[in-house]
Amino acid sequence: MDYTFLGRTGMRVSRLALGTMNFGSTNSERESFEIMDRALDAGINLFDTANIYGREAPDESVRRTGIAEEIIGRWFAQGGQRRERVVLGTKVYIRMNDPLDGANDKSGLSLYKIRRHLEGSMRRLQTDHVELYQMHHVDERTTWEEVWGAFQPIVESGAVDYIGSCNFGARHLCWAQEAAKERHFMGLVSEQSSYNLTSRWTELELLPAAQKMGIGVLTWGPLGGGMLSGHVLDSKFGTRGYERLAQLTPAKRKQLEDYSQLCRELGEKESEVALAWILSNPAVTAPLIGPRTVEQLESCIHATEIVLDEETLTQLDEIFPGPGGPAPQAYAW
């Protein structure tokens, strides 16, 4: 496993980040333990979760949240230096269905919520600190004065090492960093953003901005919601619960057929080439993977060994055209 620095920090993280959204829902605790053990053995040290991951009921209004964190906490409790070897990231923003929050059981980034929810996350994770505490979304209502007023003390206390964001626009990164600079605070060190061959809009603004400011980028949805999994054109695809993706336009079908043909010529799986393409971008720290099985994890690990040459990258650009580069060059020059 290769490693890189998380943005402008001195902390090294693996080029793959293990996402745990499936823990407690798609994956049982036993399966989750197996995936984490194999990931750690393979050298993946960046584990990403959120306080809302995992569920016991499909009804959003009644589900119990925090299950994925609880599973990770019990995995840490087994010992074997599991906790010491993991760079742990979790998130705050979305409502937790906690009756103790009362009127504040809403999504947001108030100082009140950040403090309470960090305490809850650390309790479930059975840890006294978190390496990367991330804002799950932008809170347009709460001022940066309050947001950094919440995060800066928990960093200074040692409860959290670094602060990250998720689903921010480039403008939000700039506003956040300007406000942090006024406080002589490091501010953001990472941003989680959607990015894959079928969705390349972040190339316009977010990736260039993050790279310029030394903010590492962790990408979610590397397979485009299953479009790049290699199963969309499979005759059995509809039986796997992805009927909406099976209803392709002729243009999209042709695109996926061309992609599948290129991957066959390379001798690699579609899902692995999709990950290798993300890894080839110097602005990306690591794609977030969410394997449901150990076998899928092994496939993701293999993707780190694939090197795409310039000819192949050009072919991928032809199949999945991006916006044309960063703004404004993409449309004004």
- Measured CA to CA in angstroms, residue 135 lies from 8, 74, 118, 179, 210 at distances of 18, 24, 11, 15, 16
C-alpha span between 100 and 66 (Å, rounded)? 15
Enzyme catalytic residues: 53
Is 35 in contact with 68 (CB distance < 8 Å)?
Answer: no
Is 191 in contact with 217 (CB distance < 8 Å)?
Answer: yes
Q: How many CB atoms lie within 10 A of CB 102?
A: 7
C-alpha span between 226 and 6 (Å, rounded)? 27
C-alpha span between 25 and 29 (Å, rounded)? 9
Mutual angle of helices 294-303 and 29-41, in 10-degree steps: 30
* Nearest alpha-carbon partner for 45 in 87, 6, 9, 74: 87
CA dihedral (55, 168, 117, 132) positive or negative: positive
